[in-house]
Amino acid sequence: MPPTNRATPTSPACLFLHTPEDLGALPENHRKEKPPVTPPRPIEEPTLKGSLDPPCVLDPVDQEDLQKSSGDFIKHQDKSTPFGPGLNKPQKINPKRDEHRAAIGIELGTIVVLRDKEWVKSLYVHLVKDSEIEDFLAKTRLYSTKSQRWTCLPESHDELDESELYEPFVKIINVILKRFVLRVKNFRKRQVLRKAIDTHVKNLAHQEKYATIRWSRPDVSVKAEGESFQAPEVKPGQNVQEVGFSNMSSFMEMKVENRDVSPKEQGLQVGVYVRQIFIQQPNRRFVRVLLLTEKHVRLFHFDRSGVVCSPYIDIHKYPYTFIRIVVGLNSLDESVLGLDTSIKWTIEGGRKVDGTLTTWRAGRNKTEIKFQLRNVNPIVGCHDIRGRATQCWSVSDPETGTQYLVKDCWKAEDRVSEHIYLDEAQNLPGVAQMVSFEPNRGETRNFRGVDGTSHEDFHNRVATRIVMDNYGRSVKNFTSAKELLYAFRDAITGE
């Protein structure tokens, strides 16, 4: 009997396998005279059919009540929460790019194109003063204030190819980064890096739960260093990559004006890359990337509610806006990039070796506690962009060594938060016990402009965090059919 891949070890009705060793670490009110799950005895499995009590049969009245309750539940469920098929399921090995983009489209839903440019123009104004940009444009050889254009970019013509855009944009991006981002020396005690690299012929490795496309190629990627970035993992037989989805602050995709590519097509292409950033940077709250032509820039914003994009903005006529969004998308401040800075890692040799997660202590005082990560990666992760994006972290108290499970997710705004149910279930046997919670750690509507939240397909999501007692292994780690069935039985009976 194959294990299920959909078990979630963090909800009130979740299933855990308790061994005698596990029970010694459980709270007193969770202990039983005998383990909640019978230890596996594979040799007895042939007689399993006759070893369990037969299921009870509901009388007609109870059956009618159950059917009515089920109907009422479905009737009152808000259809707003998107439960698309997404990509978190088996795919063909190395499917065609078009097939992959089609699946991304189902996952993302509607790609909302904003009506005006004001939201993009308002972004990152606080990062760079007008006077600084004016001084830069007056001195750099890459921009002509007289002709009002970036001089190294080719002019539009019918035969222009996007390959002619890579080198000049890499040059422009790096000059902007050097002038406005990397000017702060010894940021957090050392110089960190932001560097634009031509990656249109480099295979950047994917991380997938199932075998799908194994790599892809953003045109220009910005290599980043910091507490949330690590060098790409190198597997036997693979070449070392300078930049990958695990250590880029952002990327830029190039198109030419003579090819009329719709915002939807553009969004599906960059969505393939964005999905990998969310997977390989697990503390990402949102991802913003740029699509560039020889004349225009378009900003795409991805979060757990989906994607919005700006209309085209003339980079020659509005260089101030262009410079600011390049600076903001590659800031040294990781919170500006859309990273959750409550989770931090120690980087050695380019790789994460240790980390901490800061949250609230138990009690009403809401003081902070910094847990130690027992694993630098989440023990439960999500590979979809839009949705709850549930992630679970194994942590320990640095003073007592007590182990806990931290669950982060983005719940639909109109859904009752899980912590309310867990609070009502305090001290109930057979139910995961909550230690503390943070009910609102951010909302997707606050990441977008007004236009980005007014569309009928936008559904606001709220970030929540719950700290729970640590239990046994997930039910998906069962070692026999009998152990699995006892786990389900115990979950149903509440033992």
For residues 311 and 116, the answer to whether their CB atoms sit within 8 Å is yes
Burial 245-269 (b: 16+ CB within 10 A, else e): bbbbbbbbbbbbeeeeeebeebbbb
Specify the CATH class of 342-493 in words: alpha beta
Q: Rounded to an integer, what distance in angstroms lies between the CA atom of residue 56 and that of residue 492?
A: 13
Mean pLDDT of 48-66: 60
pLDDT digits (tens, 9 = 90+) for 104-150: 888 899 999 998 999 999 999 999 999 999 999 999 999 999 999 99
Helix (H) or strand (E) holding 138: helix 130-139
Helix (H) or strand (E) holding 356: strand 351-360
Residue 342 has pLDDT above 80, yes or no: yes
More confident: 292 or 480 = 292
Q: Rounded to an integer, what distance in angstroms lies between the CA atom of residue 239 and that of residue 313?
A: 38
Q: What percent of the chain has pLDDT over 70?
A: 78
Residue 11 pLDDT level (bands cut at 50, 70, 90)? very low
- Chain-centroid distance of CA 419 in Å reads 21
Q: Find, among 411, 249, 216, the residue nearest to 332 by Cα.
A: 249
In whole angstroms, how far apart are CA 358 and each of 246, 295, 347, 381, 396?
Answer: 22, 44, 18, 19, 11
* Residues 441, 446, 447: CA angle, nearest 5 degrees: 100
For residues 394 and 408, the answer to whether their CB atoms sit within 8 Å is no
Query: What is the model's pLDDT at position 34?
Result: 37
More confident: 294 or 67 = 294
Mean pLDDT of 4-32: 41
Residue 415 has pLDDT above 50, yes or no: yes
Q: Rounded to an integer, what distance in angstroms lies between the CA atom of residue 224 and that of residue 249?
A: 5
Q: Rounded to an integer, what distance in angstroms lies between the CA atom of residue 112 and that of residue 229?
A: 29
For residues 270 and 300, the answer to whether their CB atoms sit within 8 Å is yes
DSSP 442: -
Query: What is the model's pLDDT at position 237?
Result: 73
Contacts of residue 307, Cβ cutoff 8 Å, sequence gap at least 6: 108, 111, 112, 267, 271, 300, 301, 385
Q: Find, among 446, 409, 381, the residue nearest to 81 by Cα.
A: 409
User: Residue 387 has which token pair?
Assistant: 């949705």
pLDDT digits (tens, 9 = 90+) for 195-230: 999 999 999 999 987 656 688 999 999 999 999 999
Residue 250 pLDDT level (bands cut at 50, 70, 90)? very high
Q: Rounded to an integer, what distance in angstroms lies between the CA atom of residue 156 and that of residue 19?
A: 69
Q: Find, among 81, 37, 86, 4, the residue nearest to 457 by Cα.
A: 81
DSSP string, 63-86: HHHHHHHHHHHHHHS-TTS-----
* Domains of the chain, residue spans: 97-328, 342-493
pLDDT digits (tens, 9 = 90+) for 151-175: 999 999 999 999 999 999 999 999 9
Query: What is the model's pLDDT at position 383?
Result: 87
Contacts of residue 141, Cβ cutoff 8 Å, sequence gap at least 6: 151
Query: What is the model's pLDDT at position 188?
Result: 52
Write down the pTM of the prediction.
Answer: 0.80
Q: Rounded to an integer, what distance in angstroms lies between the CA atom of residue 32 and that of residue 20?
A: 10
Q: What percent of the chain has pLDDT over 90?
A: 60
